Structure 1
Amino acid sequence: MKALTWQGIEDVQVREVADPVIQEPTDAIVRVTSTAICGSDLHLYKVLAPYLTPGDVLGHEFMGIVEEVGSGVQNLAVGDRVVVPFTISCGHCWMCRRGLFAQCETTQNVDQGMGASLFGYTSLYGRVPGGQAEMVRVPHADFGPVKVPHDGHPDERYLYLSDILPTAWQGVVYADVPEGGTLAVVGLGPVGQLAVRSALHRGVKQVIGIDLVPERLARAEQAGAVVINSAQTKDVVAAVKDLTDGRGADSVLDAVGMEAHGNPVSEKIVTATSHLPGPAARLAFEKVGIDRLAALHLSLELARRGGTVSISGVYGGAADPMPLLQMFDKGLTLRMGQCHVQRWTDELFEIANQTEDVLGLESLATHHLPLDQAAEAYKTFQTKSDGCLKVVLKP
């Protein structure tokens, strides 16, 4: 079959790889009908290179049709249409019973000191072949995949249930916006856009969207957010205070993560680390690595005293400098972590499955391409060129 494989820093290629097969009774084989490029895939494209091996199959946002099921899978049948959460969870361990699916103890990567395994996401998270491929082996298919109807809706009505929709939703829940309060969303990529829409859907009174890409700002404004162009605003913090009675936002959601713009020194360090030989790069990343923190530091500044900062963007540095005096003095609450996808599946499926596309899921993607063009799509997505916000690939 064809699959998108990582071959080196900023080098991904569609190659012929072996077809997946059932390995455990709880496995299923899914023929992929749609797969997306996620912002966190860009971390693999460059920053997390030390944890990848040439030939690794990427991708963790996908859906498709069940082609085969193991003997232990009773909840699925051949022909079912399913969307697959990016977190691989058993559904019955101590963590899963508490809704902490991203910390599943059955698939936890204990040797790496990391949480549950993820599709297509490095040796840190199990090195499980991903979904930017024609077919995928889905472990723990007796729990993970979500059946969606053959109802005539295009895949994109349900595709984002795999990752970015629940990630945005969890970020808004974690932000804990008080009644009548304000949420500032830093970064208006796909997760940020869905966070804006989710917050407004949940009744947040005022949502402020912050970015520097005009097309993304326009989309958030169209959805109902007040927008601030950080590239054209001299003092973003002051601008947010002007909108919030001088206090700052009650809650802030960082939807950017480790690849934020704004600190060329950090960028050079991150780039240099990713180019070190594998073992040295991994040691540097885990012990002295830093992230580009412009978005996170801005989020901390934007929050009012006693406010909450919710972090949905992925960070990985071990030596990130943080303004602890400011954080302590302001009495901020921080919430963060990998999304517990299945925790939000039922309520989000009900929203996605309505007759009306209330969250604009079908119109989120700007680029629809065949899998064969995935390498070019990664470059376009990374550079945000051609108005690229979200890419959906068709195997």
Structure 2
Amino acid sequence: MRAMTYRGPYRVRVEEKPDPRIEHPNDAVVRVERAAICGSDLHLYHGMMPDTRVGHTFGHEFIGVVEEVGSSVSSLTVGDRVMVPFNVYCGSCWFCARGLFSNCHNVNPNATAVGGIYGYSHTTGGYDGGQAERVRVPFADVGPSVVPEWLDAEDALLMTDALSTGYFGAQLASIHEGDTVVVLGAGPVGLFAARSAWFMGAGRVIVVDQLEYRLEKARTFAHAETINFAEVDDVVLEMKQQTDFLGADSVIDAVGAEADGNFTQQVTASKLKLQGGSPTALNWAIDGVRKGGTVSAVGAYGPIPSAVKFGDAMNKGLTINTNQAPVKRQWPRLLEHIQAGHFRPSDIVTHRIPLEHIDEAYHLFSSKLDDCIKTVIVP
């Protein structure tokens, strides 16, 4: 099959790789119909994540058709069209039994930190991802779900990560009716977090970014107020000024490791691997939320500690909620919102690019060219 492969920082290409095969009775092989490039894929592309190996195939957002199932698979049959959550999880360990699918203890040698994730380096299990013609899906009775006939393919695709993670970010923000919520980042996850904050009862939603075309999308898609941090002297002061100098009730960090940081942060992260990226966005969240408020962090960070202002968080009495989204847990409520016509997730898709042009797709998305917000890959 043809698949995207990693060749080193800023270098990806399509190569021939062996077709995935059934390795365990509960595996399935899925022919990919649609995949996507996620903002967190850029952390890999830029060389920010440890143990990203040459030859690895990225892509944790994908849907497709089941081509083969193992002898123990009972919930799927060949020909089913499925959406696959980015979490690889067993469904039966202590964590899965409590709905913490992203923290599964049986799918990753590094499980003390995180469970399994498709296409996200060997720190998350080394599973090849869906930016390919086919992909092996372990625990096929647990993760994938058949796509409802009424659901658009691209809407289903966005449920496999970006939409579910944004919704989860709003859940972690502990929003009460009438609260002011600030979302850091107007990428796909930030846009979905901002839109979801209204579902949780927010009275005011403010999105912070530096790219005007993304802020315009925040205004039109998420119905949010916006702050362009490149146009203010001090973004934290601006957040305070807009909230009666108290700070927001909740701040959602939808950026993660690649927020713009200072020179030292960038060198120690991307060059020396001494920290898992720049903690700029998380520190803005800690500084910009009110005392006793809540910080929700769903942006992707590396496993190496960063210089987070934890003392300030403690002294302000903050609640910090964070995790990789347990994707499938969000689906029932999200399907209700979509079917009721409350919003259409695929409205944020800006580009659809064939798999053979994956290098151009990454360059376009990484460099924020052509007003790119969300890129769909078509095998």
Range of TM-score over shorter length: over 0.9
Structure 1 residues 91-130: aligned runs within 5 Å: 91-110=91-110, 113-130=112-129
Range with greater deviation from structure 2 (142-151 or 296-305): 142-151
8 Å CA contact 2:166–2:190 kept in 1: the answer is: yes
Q: Distance in 2 between matches of 1:242 and 1:300?
A: 16
- State the shift of 1:317 in Å: 5.6
- Secondary structure of the structure 2 residue equivalent to 1:387: coil
Are 2:25 and 1:25 equivalent residues in the alignment?
Answer: yes
User: What is the aligned partner in structure 2 of residue 365 from structure 1?
Assistant: 349
User: What is the aligned partner in structure 2 of residue 244 from structure 1?
Assistant: 243
Instruction: Report the AA paired with residue 385 of structure 1.
Output: L
8 Å CA contact 1:109–1:117 kept in 2: the answer is: no
Write the deviation string for residues 225-275 of structure 1: whole angstroms up to 9, x where unpaired.
Answer: 1111111122322332333232110000001111111312211222322xx
Are 2:301 and 1:303 equivalent residues in the alignment?
Answer: no
- Secondary structure of the structure 2 residue equivalent to 1:106: coil
Write the deviation string for residues 103-130 of structure 1: whole angstroms up to 9, x where unpaired.
Answer: 11221324x7432111111111111111
- State the shift of 1:360 in Å: 2.9
Tell me, which stretches of 5 or more residues in structure 1 are unaligned? 274-284
Instruction: Report the AA paired with residue 216 of structure 2.
Output: A
Q: Distance in 2 between matches of 1:226 and 1:261?
A: 21
8 Å CA contact 2:205–2:224 kept in 1: the answer is: yes
Q: Distance in 2 between matches of 1:376 and 1:20?
A: 25
User: What is the aligned partner in structure 2 of residue 321 from structure 1?
Assistant: 307
8 Å CA contact 1:114–1:124 kept in 2: the answer is: no
8 Å CA contact 1:90–1:104 kept in 2: the answer is: yes
- State the shift of 1:179 in Å: 1.9
Q: Distance in 2 between matches of 1:327 and 1:66?
A: 47
When residues 326 and 383 of structure 1 are mapped into structure 2, their CA distance, relative to the original with a 3 A threshold, is: same
User: What is the aligned partner in structure 1 of residue 321 from structure 2?
Assistant: 335
Instruction: Report the AA paired with residue 186 of structure 1.
Output: L
- State the shift of 1:293 in Å: 1.7
Q: Distance in 1 between matches of 2:98 and 2:78?
A: 30
Are 2:81 and 1:81 equivalent residues in the alignment?
Answer: yes
8 Å CA contact 2:47–2:270 kept in 1: the answer is: yes
- Secondary structure of the structure 2 residue equivalent to 1:203: coil
User: What is the aligned partner in structure 1 of residue 259 from structure 2?
Assistant: 260
- State the shift of 1:135 in Å: 0.7
- Secondary structure of the structure 2 residue equivalent to 1:257: coil
- Secondary structure of the structure 1 residue equivalent to 2:116: coil
- State the shift of 1:195 in Å: 0.5
Write the deviation string for residues 325-349 of structure 1: whole angstroms up to 9, x where unpaired.
Answer: 3222211111111111122122122
Structure 1 residues 14-163: aligned runs within 5 Å: 14-48=14-48, 50-110=50-110, 113-151=112-150, 153-163=151-161
Are 2:361 and 1:377 equivalent residues in the alignment?
Answer: yes
Write the deviation string for residues 42-63 of structure 1: whole angstroms up to 9, x where unpaired.
Answer: 1111234641222111111000
User: What is the aligned partner in structure 2 of residue 348 from structure 1?
Assistant: 334
Are 2:175 and 1:191 equivalent residues in the alignment?
Answer: no
Instruction: Report the AA paired with residue 250 of structure 1.
Output: D
Tell me, which stretches of 5 or more residues in structure 2 are unaligned? none
8 Å CA contact 1:90–1:143 kept in 2: the answer is: yes
Write the deviation string for residues 79-134 of structure 1: whole angstroms up to 9, x where unpaired.
Answer: 11110011111112211110111111221324x74321111111111111110001
Range with greater deviation from structure 2 (341-350 or 34-43): 341-350
Runs of 4+ in 1 over 4 A off after TM superposition: none
- State the shift of 1:381 in Å: 0.8
8 Å CA contact 2:176–2:200 kept in 1: the answer is: no
Q: Distance in 1 between matches of 2:378 and 2:276?
A: 35
TM-score, normalised with respect to structure 2: 0.95
Q: Distance in 1 between matches of 2:183 and 2:334?
A: 20
8 Å CA contact 1:194–1:359 kept in 2: the answer is: no
Instruction: Report the AA paired with residue 351 of structure 1.
Output: H
When residues 325 and 117 of structure 1 are mapped into structure 2, their CA distance, relative to the original with a 3 A threshold, is: closer
8 Å CA contact 1:2–1:16 kept in 2: the answer is: yes
When residues 291 and 364 of structure 1 are mapped into structure 2, their CA distance, relative to the original with a 3 A threshold, is: same
When residues 49 and 304 of structure 1 are mapped into structure 2, their CA distance, relative to the original with a 3 A threshold, is: closer
Work out which of the residue numbers 163, 166, 176 in structure 1 matches 2:164. 166
Work out which of the residue numbers 194, 205, 218 in structure 2 matches 1:220. 218
User: What is the aligned partner in structure 1 of residue 377 from structure 2?
Assistant: 393
More helix as a share of residues: 1
Write the deviation string for residues 270-304 of structure 1: whole angstroms up to 9, x where unpaired.
Answer: 2322xxxxxxxxxxx4xx42521221111111100
8 Å CA contact 1:247–1:304 kept in 2: the answer is: yes
TM-score, normalised with respect to structure 1: 0.92
Instruction: Report the AA paired with residue 292 of structure 1.
Output: S
Q: Distance in 1 between matches of 2:39 and 2:118?
A: 15
Q: Distance in 2 between matches of 1:101 and 1:49?
A: 22
Q: Distance in 2 between matches of 1:16 and 1:304?
A: 52
User: What is the aligned partner in structure 2 of residue 200 from structure 1?
Assistant: 198
Q: Distance in 2 between matches of 1:218 and 1:328?
A: 35
Q: Distance in 2 between matches of 1:10 and 1:315?
A: 19
